[in-house]
Amino acid sequence: MSVLIFIELDNGSIKKTSLETVAYGAKVAAQVNGKAVVLAIGDASSAELEKAGHYGAEKVLHAAGEKLAHENSLAYADVLVQASAQEQSQIIVLPKSGLGDAIAARAAARLKAGVVSGVTALPETEGTFKVTRSIFTGKAFATTEIKSEIKFLVVRKNAIEIDEAGLNTAGATIEPFSPALRDADFQANVVDVEKASGELSLTEAEIIVSGGRGMKGPEHWQALLDLASALGAATGCSKPVSDLDWRPHHEHIGQTGIKVAPNLYIACGISGAIQHLAGVNGSKCIVVINKDPEAPFFKSADYGVVGDVFEILPRLTAAAKAIR
Amino acid sequence: MKILVCITNVPDTTSKITFTDNNTRLNKAGVQYIIGPYDDYALARGVELKEKTGGTLTVLHVGEADAEPQIRKALAIGADDAIRINAEPLDSYFTAVQIAAIAREENYDLILMGRESIDYNSGVVHGMVGEMLGINSYSPVMKLELEGSTATITREIDGGKEILKANLPLVLGCQEPIAEWKIPNMRGIMTARTKPLKVVEPVATEEMSAPVAYSLPAPKGACKMIPAAEAETLIRLLQTEAKVL
Ligand SMILES: Cc1cc2nc3c(=O)[nH]c(=O)nc-3n(C[C@H](O)[C@H](O)[C@H](O)COP(=O)(O)OP(=O)(O)OC[C@H]3O[C@@H](n4cnc5c(N)ncnc54)[C@H](O)[C@@H]3O)c2cc1C
C-alpha cells in the first residue's frame, strides 16, 4: 500500500505549495502504515527532487522527457494512473491548483474513485475514511466520507503546519519512471505560452500586496509595487481593477479570480466586497488600508489603518526597508 | 454545431451560509439561488457560438426541481431546450456520470460549463466528463474561438496564459473574460416559457463520496486599528506580534 503524491514543478524546482503537499501525503502515509511515494513529471535535477525526502517522502518516481516537459493534464493524468498501478496506491494526494484538479478529475474517472478537492486538514483514517474540505469559497467546511477503494485528496495550501526545523535530513531516492504515452493526449497543439517572467506567483507567495479601485488608476500603482518589492511580496488586485485593465487578469483575486492563502495580505483601497473576501479568507493575517472607516473589509481584517493609501503606502515602504 | 452547457444552481455570492438538521444540511431558507457565475460565462459564450454557427444549444442541470427558475433563465438567455436530471448532486463523480450519460447519446461537439461550482469549488466535473467520454478537456478557458472543427483556446495558467488549438469534440471549464454575462430580454423570457424542459431520472452509479457534516469557520477576532499618523508601527507589529514578516 502506498500514498502517491503528485508534485508540481516550475522551471525545474518543486513548487513550495507542492512541498507542503508532500508533507501532507507523508503524514497520511504514516497514519495508514503506507509508503509515501512522490510522482514528479517534467524536468528537474535529482538534487532538487531529493528534497521531497526532507518532507517525508521515501521515493520519487521521476517521469521526464521532451513530451512531458510542458504541463499537459491529459498526459499527466495517464502517467499518474500508471504510477498508481505500479505502486498499488490507495490514496492519491495532489496540490489544489488548476493542474492538480485537472489531473485528479481525469485519473479518478479512470480509476472509478472519489475525489475530495479543497482539503483543509488530515483525514480520519480509522473506520470510515473522512476528510474536511473548504466549501462555499471559504465560507464553510464539509466533512466528507470517501467510500471508493482508491481515494483522491486535492489539498489546499496551509492544510497542515510545516515545522521547518523538524525536517528529515535524508533525501528521497529517485527512480526514473518511463510510462507509455498515448498519442491522443498530445492531440492539442500549444501555440503560445505567455508567462510573466521573474514575477512571484500569487498562489505561491507568502506576502501579497493588493490594490482596489481606491488606487484610482494604473499610473498610481508604483507606490504599491514599491511596498511589494520592499516586502518581497507578489501583487494582486480586485476584479474592477482587472476589468478596467489597470492590471493584468491573472492578478485578479476573489470569487471569480484566484484564491490565495498567503501569510500576509495587505489590501490597499479595496472595499472588501464578499466576492473579494472569498478569495482571501485563507490568509493568515490581513491588513486593510482604506480611507473609509466603514469599509466592510475592516470586519475581516487583523490590522487596519484608516487613511489615504497614497499617503500611507510610501511610509510603510520606508518602514519595511528599514527592517530588511 | 451541437452545444451542451451544464449549469449549477447555487446560492448567490452574497449569501450567508448556515446549516440545519444538526449541521448535516444546508439551510436554504432566505437564500437566493443563481446560475453559477462561471456557468453563466459558459452559457453566454455558448449562446454566441450557437448564433455564429447556426447550431443548437441545450442546457443541462443535475439537480432538483427548485432549480427550474434558473433553467428557465438559461432558456431565456438563448438555450433551445433543457434537460434536468432529477437528483441531488452531492458528489462530482455522480454528477459527471449523469452528464456523460446524456452526452453519450447526443454526441455534442462542445460541452461547456463553469471552471467550478461556487458551492463545492471542486473544479473536477469537466475533467471527469472528458475522461468518461474519452475526449479532451481543458480549464480554465478565458477565450474560445471556433474555426470549423478546430477550437482555439486561451487557458489561464499560473502567472499567465497558454494558447492551444484542439479538435472538437471538447469539454471546457470556462471563466471570464470568455464572454460578458447575458441578461435575458422580454422576448427571451416569453419564449423560454414554452421551450422544452425534459426531466430525466439519474442513471445508477456507485456513490464515491458523500458529505456527512458541515461547519463554519471560527469567528474572526477584532481588527486592531492603527492611527494613520503612526502607520509605521504597523510594520513592527507585523514583525513582532503577528510574526508574518
Ligand atoms: C458574481 C460576482 C463575482 C465577483 N467576483 C469578484 C472577485 O472575484 N473579486 C473581486 O475583487 N470582486 C468581485 N466582484 C465584485 C465585487 O462585488 C466588488 O464590486 C469589488 O470587489 C469592488 O472592488 P474594489 O474594492 O476595488 O472597489 P470599490 O468597492 O469601489 O472600493 C474602493 C475602496 O477604495 C477606498 N478608497 C478610495 N480612495 C481611497 C484612498 N485614496 N485611500 C484609501 N482608500 C480609498 C474606498 O473607500 C473603497 O472602500 C464580483 C461580483 C459579482 C456580482
Q: Which residues of chain A have pLDDT under 70?
A: 197-198
Give the distance from residue A30's alpha carbon to the nearest chain B alpha carbon, in angstroms.
23
Please check whether residue A136 is in contact with residue B119, taking contact to mean a CB–CB distance below 8 angstroms: yes
pLDDT at position B197: 97
Helix pair angle (A16-31, A46-54), 10° resolution: 50
A76 and A127 co-located in one domain = yes
Protein residues whose CB sits closer than 6 Å to any atom of ligand 1:
A 212-214, 238-241, 254-257, 269-271, 273, 275-276, 279, 290-292, 295, 308-310; B 13, 37
Q: Which of B91, B158, B163 is most worth mutating to test chain A (most A CB atoms within 10 A of its CB)?
A: B158
The model's pLDDT over A294-320, given as tens digits with 9 standing for 90+, comes to: 999 999 999 999 999 999 999 999 999
Domain ranges for chain B: 2-216
Give the distance from residue A200's alpha carbon to the nearest chain B alpha carbon, in angstroms.
8
- Joined grid coordinates for residue A251: 492578478
A17 and A165 co-located in one domain = yes
Residues of A whose CB is below 8 A from B223: 288, 298-304
The model's pLDDT over A114-128, given as tens digits with 9 standing for 90+, comes to: 999 999 999 999 999
d(CA B67, CA B82) in angstroms, rounded, equals: 12
The residue nearest atom 1 of ligand 1, judged by CA position, is B37
Lookup result for grid cell 490507495: A90
Nearest CB to A115: which of B17, B93, B162? B93
Lookup result for grid cell 513582532: B240
Determine, yes or no, domain membership for A113.
yes
Q: Best mutation site among B12, B13, B38 for ligand 1, i.e. most ligand atoms within 8 A of its Cβ?
A: B13
A134 and A20 co-located in one domain = yes
Give the distance from residue B119's alpha carbon to the nearest chain A alpha carbon, in angstroms.
4
Nearest to A228 by CA among A200, A247, A251: A200
Closest ligand 1 atom, CA of A213?
Answer: 26
CA dihedral B139, B137, B200, B91 (to 10 degrees): -60
A169 and A230 co-located in one domain = no
pLDDT at position A195: 81
User: The domain that contains A45 carries what CATH number?
Assistant: 3.40.50.620
Lookup result for grid cell 514578516: B245
Alpha carbon of A247 to ligand 1 centroid (Å): 14
Q: Do B118 and A136 touch (CB under 8 A)?
A: yes
- Joined grid coordinates for residue A80: 499518474
CA atoms within 13 A on the CB side of B160: 11
Please tell me the class of the B2-216 domain: alpha beta
pLDDT at position B215: 96
Give the distance from residue A183's alpha carbon to the nearest chain B alpha carbon, in angstroms.
12
Q: Do A207 and B142 touch (CB under 8 A)?
A: no
Q: Do B14 and A274 touch (CB under 8 A)?
A: yes
d(CA A178, CA A82) in angstroms, rounded, equals: 10
- The contacts of residue A209 (CB under 8 Å, 6+ apart) are A224, A227, A228, A231, A233, A234, A235, A236, A266, A268
d(CA A286, CA A265) in angstroms, rounded, equals: 5
Determine, yes or no, domain membership for A109.
yes
Residues of A whose CB is below 8 A from B158: 10, 97-98, 201, 203
A145 and A286 co-located in one domain = no
A237 and A318 co-located in one domain = yes
245 residues of chain B, pLDDT tens digit each = 999 999 999 999 989 999 999 999 999 999 999 999 999 999 999 999 999 999 999 999 999 999 999 999 999 999 999 999 999 998 999 999 999 999 999 999 999 999 999 999 999 999 999 999 999 999 999 999 999 999 999 999 887 899 999 999 999 999 989 999 999 999 999 999 999 999 999 999 999 999 999 999 888 889 999 999 999 999 999 999 999 99
Closest ligand 1 atom, CA of A216?
Answer: 38
Residues of A whose CB is below 8 A from B206: 112, 147-148
Please check whether residue A57 is in contact with residue A188, taking contact to mean a CB–CB distance below 8 angstroms: no
- Joined grid coordinates for residue B63: 439537480
A168 and A239 co-located in one domain = no
Lookup result for grid cell 442541470: B61
Would you give the end-to-end CA distance of chain B in angstroms?
55
User: The domain that contains A269 carries what CATH number?
Assistant: 3.40.50.1220
Determine, yes or no, domain membership for A191.
no
Q: What is the DSSP string of A20-87?
A: HHHHHHHHHHHHTT-EEEEEEES---HHHHHHHHHTT-SEEEEE-SGGGSS--HHHHHHHHHHHHHHT
Nearest CB to A323: which of B152, B217, B239? B239
Phi, psi of A46 (to 5 degrees): -60, -40
Determine, yes or no, domain membership for A193.
no
Last residue of a domain, one of A120, A155, A186: A186
A53 and A162 co-located in one domain = yes
Its ipTM equals: 0.93
A31 and A169 co-located in one domain = yes
Give the range of the structural domain holding residue A52, as residue numbers without chain letter: 2-186
Lookup result for grid cell 510574526: B243
* Helices assigned H by DSSP within B54-161: 68-77, 92-106, 125-133
d(CA B172, CA B8) in angstroms, rounded, equals: 15
A163 and A253 co-located in one domain = no
- The contacts of residue A115 (CB under 8 Å, 6+ apart) are A104, A105, A108, A152, A154, B92, B93, B122, B124, B208, B209
Q: What is the DSSP string of A107-161?
A: HHHHHT-EEEEEE-SPPB-SSSEEEEEEEGGGTEEEEEEE-SSSEEEEEPTTSS-
Q: How many domains does chain A have?
A: 2
pTM for this structure? 0.92
Residues of A whose CB is below 8 A from B142: 249
